[in-house]
Amino acid sequence: MEIGHILVKKLDETLSVEEQKVFDNWIHQSDNHRFMFLRLKIFYNNGYDISKVDDPDIKVHRSKI
């Protein structure tokens, strides 16, 4: 499963136990991961549709963040 999909599910609070383990491992791997997730969370909390994070053309969507 792609990390983008897991990030979206984390924000939607719909992670399975296994997905939560993947998220926990990913978030603890680097400060950049934590920073990216916090940025996504801010956008999510402000009503932006972040579901496109899992899109194959992620560079286009990242440029909008």
pTM for the model: 0.74
pLDDT digits (tens, 9 = 90+) for 9-59: 999 999 999 999 999 999 999 999 999 999 999 999 998 887 765 554 555
User: CB 26: neighbour CB atoms within 10 A?
Assistant: 17
Token reading at 30: 């680097």
| Under 8 Å between Cβ of 65 and 39 | yes
Cβ neighbors of 41 (< 8 A, separation 6 or more) are 11
